[in-house]
Amino acid sequence: MSHSHDHFSVTVSKPENSVIEITGTINAETIESHRKEVIKKLAKEVEIPGFRKGNAPADVVEKQANPNHVLEDAAEEALSEAYPHILEEHNIVPMSAPRVSIIKMALGAPLEFKISVAITPTVELPNYKKIAKETRKDEKPIEVTDEDVAQVIKELQELRKDSAGVIPELTDEFVKTLGSFESIEDFKTKLRENIKLEKESDASRIRFEMLVKKLAEESNIILPTPMVDDEIYASLNRLTKDLEKHNMKLEDYFKNIKKTEEEFVAAKRASIEEQLKTKFILQEIAKKESIVPDPEQVEAEIKQAMLHYPNLSPEDFRSYIVETLTNEKTLRWLEEAKF
């Protein structure tokens, strides 16, 4: 698919493993006008003997400057300007930073370039309703036994040993020291409710992990490598910044966790791939089932986000929030399996 524009013409390849190649040229006039701009900018910054800073004429500056560097800067600026137009004209939604290679560049000649960029992977879904139902079928009602209660009470008594190692007796007085409880009975009732909530949340986490694992195993999806690489790079970057706050280097951190950088990156890659697969699978299910988040909830979340980051615009948050809420709603829909 090729497309021509006044300043540039490009051809976009068919996606391969969710990556497309954009091959194109930017005409000589456009590159030349960018080259002149680069020289103008240089003239403002350089000091040339015999001229006040920023006052040297362009031709003098051009003689002093490295022509290759000037041309490279011009090419970079021309590409930065053209890239958003290319994306728009070809309806490309990039899922990674562009990988740019210059194929041919010379003074007075058009610029030939190639850009590879990740796009949203296609997802072939399995029978997700069946998977969701199967994940629920072995569900047992959650019971809290007297042993469960006794066990927690024993642990609490152990924790409250005095300095001589004497374990306090279970009395109304003792339970009052543990919180706002009236009596042993009241304490046991509330403890039972707490244990039940904990067991339910464990069960739901295990069910969620099984569901996600099964969906990922049975879906057909190829994640674009550049997208995964970008995510790994970003997380290493964040880690480095966090460590700097504690005056630590990345290599110290790897020593501490007894892993090589390669092992760390491999584990990171696996977890990022799992997260991304889950995200794209849920998006695809949401699309098929027309699951959309509640508009009031979206607005409420945007308001909340604006409190933390007042200088960003609501639009900066919207797509992220819509995506997050859609994924959560889709997961709940799958987990409830009421279809």
The dihedrals phi and psi of 252, each to the nearest 5 degrees, come to -65, -40
For residue 316, name the pLDDT band (cuts at 50, 70, 90): confident
The dihedrals phi and psi of 31, each to the nearest 5 degrees, come to -60, -45
Q: For residue 30, give the CATH number of its domain.
A: 3.30.70.1050
Dist CA 318 CA 242 (whole Å) = 27
By the 8 A CB rule, do 152 and 195 touch?
yes
Last residue of a domain, one of 194, 220, 246: 220
The amino acid at 331: L
pLDDT of residue 312: 87
Instruction: Write down the pLDDT at residue 313.
Output: 87
Residue 112 lies in a domain: yes
Tell me 190's DSSP state. Answer: H
Amino acid at 247: N
- CA 158 to each of CA 139, 190, 286, 311: distance values in angstroms, whole numbers, following the listed order: 34, 20, 50, 51
89 and 175 in a common domain: no
Task: Let me know if residue 293 belongs to a domain.
Answer: no
Q: Is residue 71 part of a domain?
A: yes
Tokens of 52: 């006040």
Q: Give the pLDDT confidence of 13-27 residue by residue, as tens digits.
A: 999 999 999 999 999
Looking at 46-60, 81-95, 260-274, 290-304, which range is the least confident one? Answer: 46-60
Q: Smallest Cα–Cα separation from 17: which of 102, 116, 103?
A: 116
Give tens-digit pLDDT for 89-143. 999 999 999 999 999 999 999 999 999 999 999 999 999 999 999 988 878 889 9
Tell me the pLDDT band of 259, cut-offs 50, 70 and 90.
very high
Q: pLDDT at position 56, please?
A: 80
User: Does residue 314 register a pLDDT over 90?
Assistant: no
Confidence check: pLDDT of 3 > 60: no
Give a yes or no: residue 56 inside a domain.
Answer: yes
Domain hosting 166: range is: 148-220
* Domain closes at, from 102, 119, 136: 119
Position 5 pLDDT exceeds 80: no
| Residue 306 vs residues 301, 315, 321, 334: alpha-carbon distances, Å | 9, 10, 12, 31
pLDDT value, residue 291: 97
* pLDDT one-digit tens code per residue, 143-152: 999 999 999 9
Tell whether 102 and 190 lie within a shared domain: no
110/167 same-domain check: no
Both 115 and 167 in one domain: the answer is no
Q: Of 220, 248, 264, at which residue does a domain stop?
A: 220
Residue 37 lies in a domain: yes
Over residues 184-188, mean pLDDT:
92
Residues 9 and 115 in one domain: yes
> Domain for residue 334, yes or no?
no
The owner of tokens 């986000």 is: 305
64 part of a folded domain: yes
Q: According to the model, what pLDDT value does residue 8 have?
A: 87
- Per-residue pLDDT at 315: 85
Q: How far is residue 175's CA from residue 180's CA, in Å, rounded to a whole number?
A: 8
- The reply to whether 66 falls in a domain is yes
Backbone angles phi, psi at 12, to 5 degrees: -110, 125
Helix (H) or strand (E) holding 44: helix 28-45
